[in-house]
Structures are given as C-alpha cells and as structure tokens.
Structure 1
Amino acid sequence: MLPDLNRLRVFYHVYSLQSINMAAKNLHLTQPGVSQHIKKLEFEIKTPLFIRRHKKIIPTWAADKLFAMVKPFMETLGSEIKNISKPMDHPYGLLRIGAPLEFGKTYFPAICQAFRKKYNQVTFKIRLEEPDQLLDMLNKGILDFVVIDYFSAKDQFFGRPEQYKIDSLAEETFILASSKEYFENMMGKNISFETLMSMDFITDEHEPFILKHWFWHYFKKSISKFNIIMAIESHQALLNCVRLGMGLAITADHLIWNEIETGKIVPIFPTKEKVLNKISLVQLRDKKATLTEETFQTFFKKQIKAKENLK
C-alpha cells in the first residue's frame, strides 16, 4: 500500500527546508501537526526518517532515499499544475533535458534561447552529466529525454538498446590535439606510434578511455599506461593546457574549429580513417512524447543540422 500522499508532501517540505518549524509555516500548519504527519509516515514505511537533536533534525539514509523518489514528482507537479487548464495546441511548460557537459554548454544556451523566442511559455531544466548518469535519470523519469554521445549503441546502452528510441543527430570527429609549437618543437612533426607514446598527455577522464580508443583505432594496440601529466575534470581547462603547449589531448574538432583552421592547433591523424563519435537524441521507447517535447526535438534537430552544415 502506498503511503498517504499528503504525508509525503509534508515530508518533502520538511526535508527540503531541514526544519519542521519552517515547513509548518510554508504549509500553513501547526508545528505539532507537521510532526504528527512525519511520525505517521515513519509508522507507515516502518523506518525512522529523521534523527531529532536539540532544535535540529538530521535526515536518515531512508529519508535521503525517499526524498530522491518524491522530489521529481513534487517538482514536476508544482511546475505543471498551473498549466493544466491551458490549451494543448501549443508548446508550454517545463522540459527536463540531459546532455554531456561540453556539448550542453556549447549548444543548449543558444538553441533554448531561439526556441523561447517562438514559444515563450516553455522553460528548461538542463542536466549536464556523463552518459551513464543521464541514461539512469532517463530510466527513473527524472528527465524527459537526453542527448548523449557514444561510440556504439552496444557499448553505451548495456545490451538493452531496444528499450530506447535513438535518433542520430550528428557525428563529431575525435582528434588528438596539439599546439603548433608542441607539434613542431617537441614532436618534430613526427606522428609515429613511438613518438606519440613518448609524449605528455592531458585528460579529463578518470580513466583515459577515449585516449585508449583513439590509439586502438589507429594503431590496433592496447595501451595500459600513458604519460599523463594532468588529469582535470573541465574540458575547457584541458583545451587551455593544449594551447599552452603542455601536451596532447583528445577533443572534438568542432570545439576548436577556428584554431584548427588558423593553424594554432594541429589535429593528429595517423591515417585517413577518423575516429567518429555519434551524438544522438535518446528517449524511452514506450513513453509517448508530449507536443512540447516533439516540437522542441524537431527544432533542436534542425538547429544542430544547420550548425553541422556550417563546418
């Protein structure tokens, strides 16, 4: 049996505010009334939710888990209930979208701004995370759809691609990037396997998976160790390290297109066959998209295609 929904609503406010007194004021209830709701909820789910200290409450592990389940529902309900009486013939309301960090930072601000010029009743909540985290949030209903990059559906979707609707948006080329000075002075313009393996590398991954993939693609050699002189979580910081001539790093060509064109950055291609990374829009196959989702997705695809054609 599900817990009383009104008690879950009270719990949501208590947890969010970390205060029974403040929750009581927000809900226009008495403090004892709020406390009684929490006690009854704890009885229903048969576990304590808060540890009481003097003038302070501390959420338990069970409270953290319950809040993670309740939060998406409460926040979606709060943002959508005001729109429930509006006509359904035009886009409106909140879109919850996920994307990789650099792709999201590069494309979403301008595209969302352009979309809102046409449909100003649409708002956005954008999550920028790793693909596996985005898929997890999609599966849990936290996101409406996601844009992810991956080498292959088999690798990325954990053997279950059939549960997703996957629409290809674009392909980006992964390059091993070097500053012009590093390429000329440190490498002597030599891109042999032996020379590359003696160079310094920068990565923004905990495990240099993409770097390993790049070397396997071109040299069919499995590399267990690189001379990584810096691991940094920001891709923009990684690119700055390349610009400074600290070493070599993997990036997508479109992120530094102008610098490649002007010769400031040298893309290294040991052979003509390039490493391609697919960008796709992914949603759950059994979820019916709303008019707002469909309209934005169509708009988004056109915007990405237009940007690709400008390269």
Structure 2
Amino acid sequence: MSLAAKELFMTQPGVSQHIKNIEETLQVKLFDRLNRKLVPTSEAVHIFEEVTPILHQLERSLSTINQSEQSLTGTINFGMPIEFGNNVILPHLSTWAKSNTDVKFHINYDHAARQINQLLDGSLDFAITDSFTFPTQVEVENLAREEWILCASKEYAKDNRLNEVSTFKQMKELHYISYLENSPVIHQWFKHHKNKTFDLKSRARLMDVQGVARLILEGVGLGILSRHMVRENNLEDKIVIFEGSGVPLYNEINLVKLKGKTMSLTCQSFVEYLVQKLKK
C-alpha cells in the first residue's frame, strides 16, 4: 500500500478509499488482506490484464499528440480560387512547407459556393475564397483584393468595332465567356460600371481562369480577368481593356472558417502565416 501511495503521489488512506470506491462500483472484492498484506483477487488480476494495454495505448497516443503539436505534422485540407491561389498563395505555401517538412497539403480548387458546403461538412479546414454571400455558420476575414476587368482580344474588338470606351449599346449584343451559370461576375461588372442589367449571350462557361483567358485571346468573346493575371501573363498588348466608371471593381479575397471549429496547431500555424503574408 505504501509503495502504491508513493507511485501515485497519494496518501495511503487515499489509495484505500479509491480501492473501496472501485470495489463498490464494480460490486467485486479486489484485494484480500492476508498477514498485513494486500493480495489481489482473481478478479483484480483479470481487470489488471485487461486494462493495462489500454492505458499503455492511451499513453502512447497522448505522447504522439503532444509531439505532433510541437513539431507540426499532419494534413491541412483547404480550398482556394485557381488563379489567385496559384499565383499568390502557392508561393507562400512553398516557403512555409520547406520549414515544416512533415506537413502534407490537400488543396481544393473550386468556387466559393461549393467550398462553403465542404467547410460545413468538415471536409475542409478553411478556405480562401472570392467575394460571396456567406452563411451565418462561418466567420470571414478579408485578406486582399484583386481588380476585375472586362476585356476582349484585339482581333475581336476590331471585328466588332470596339475600343476602350465602347458604350453599353455596342457591347450588349456580343458574346461572353462566363465562369458560372448565369454569369454573375459579368453582370456585376456591368452593374458596377454601367449601371445596367441585360440578358447576355454566354458563348462558353468554364471554371478556369486560364481557360477563360485562352478563349478571350482566341476571339470567342468578351470576358472578365483579374488585372494581376493580365499583368503577370503579359497580356496587355494582346487585349483591349474596357474602361468603366473610373472606380475599379474589386473581388475581395477572404479567409473563411467554420465558427466554433477547433483547428489543429499545424493548421492554425499555417493560417497565421498566410494571413501575415497576404495582409502585408
């Protein structure tokens, strides 16, 4: 009894009381007192053999969790928009990953609407998304913004007698290349710059910025690109950019997380790094 009390950092009466409580709970006698010694009963031996491996496994699991929190390991699942993600987020990710070699990444490329659903069902830890009407279950932090511009190839502009200051009347009957059904981004541009709405002719729809840019350059129709994408791909001399109201239309880039969800230390560390870099 004295040895048990020492190992458990308890008093002997405390150990005796715990044994008594267990015996009352199980309604089984665990020890016999013989010649002033406690001798375990067969029931006590059986319980010891069953419980010991479980306690050892629990100890190993807790140790693993503790070590992973110190060394940053595991997999981070997050979503991001294709173009902004590839051009802005991935370079920062690469730098962070080189310093945290035990971390793996699973990246989802999709529109905010579908990524929000994945946040809600727990398949994504967080998402970097475009402007969107977010549900109340998520918390949103603005990180950056990119300017949206409407453009066409110089060939398409020439064939349709367009220039940088073409009017809405000249543009409303043309073909357009959309990202999503109902072309919300194009409609947003016309509402912002021309204060107009109309039934546009969507010639193609694809959820890929590089694909939209390719179709614009090939003269299929007008489309929306981000200014940083145009600049980084050296497209300025190949397209006509239509002027708007003078006030740029921005796509807000947001960090979106599920309210109340606890992030792993690894994920939290990466998010804090991204936020710091993107807000510079």
Residue range with higher mean Cα deviation, 254-263 or 91-100: 254-263
Task: Give the TM-score of the pair, scaled to structure 2.
Answer: 0.69
The answer to whether residue 241 in structure 2 is matched with residue 267 in structure 1 is yes
Pick from 133, 139, 143 the counterpart of residue 120 of structure 2: 139
Q: In the alignment, which residue of structure 2 is the partner of 1:208?
A: 183
> What amino acid does structure 1 have at the position aligned with 2:134?
F
C-alpha contact (below 8 Å) 1:97/1:146 kept by paired residues: yes
C-alpha contact (below 8 Å) 1:260/1:266 kept by paired residues: no
Task: Give the TM-score of the pair, scaled to structure 1.
Answer: 0.63
Q: CA deviation at 1:108?
A: 4.3
Q: CA deviation at 1:233?
A: 3.9
Pick from 115, 123, 129 the counterpart of residue 110 of structure 2: 129
C-alpha contact (below 8 Å) 2:69/2:266 kept by paired residues: no
Structure 2 CA distance for aligned equivalents of residues 81 and 125 of structure 1? 25
Structure 2 CA distance for aligned equivalents of residues 298 and 174 of structure 1? 27
Structure 1 CA distance for aligned equivalents of residues 99 and 173 of structure 2? 53
5+ residue gaps, structure 1: 1-79, 307-311
The answer to whether residue 273 in structure 2 is matched with residue 299 in structure 1 is yes
The answer to whether residue 259 in structure 2 is matched with residue 285 in structure 1 is yes
Q: In the alignment, which residue of structure 1 is the partner of 2:85?
A: 104
The answer to whether residue 145 in structure 2 is matched with residue 164 in structure 1 is no
Structure 1 residues 82 and 126, CA gap change in structure 2 (3 angstroms): farther
Root-mean-square deviation (CA, aligned residues, Å) is 2.5
Structure 1 residues 289 and 113, CA gap change in structure 2 (3 angstroms): same
C-alpha contact (below 8 Å) 1:202/1:241 kept by paired residues: yes
Total equivalences in the alignment: 219
Alignment of 1:195-234 (within 5 A): 195-223=170-198, 225-234=199-208
Q: For residue 122 of structure 2, give the secondary structure of its aligned residue in structure 1.
A: coil
Q: CA deviation at 1:185?
A: 4.5
Residue range with higher mean Cα deviation, 170-179 or 286-295: 286-295
Higher RCO (C-alpha under 8 Å, 6+ residues apart): 2
Q: CA deviation at 1:98?
A: 1.3
Q: In the alignment, which residue of structure 2 is the partner of 1:88?
A: 69
- Could you say which structure has the larger radius of gyration? 2
**Between the two proteins, what is the percent identity of the paired residues?**
25
5+ residue gaps, structure 2: 1-60
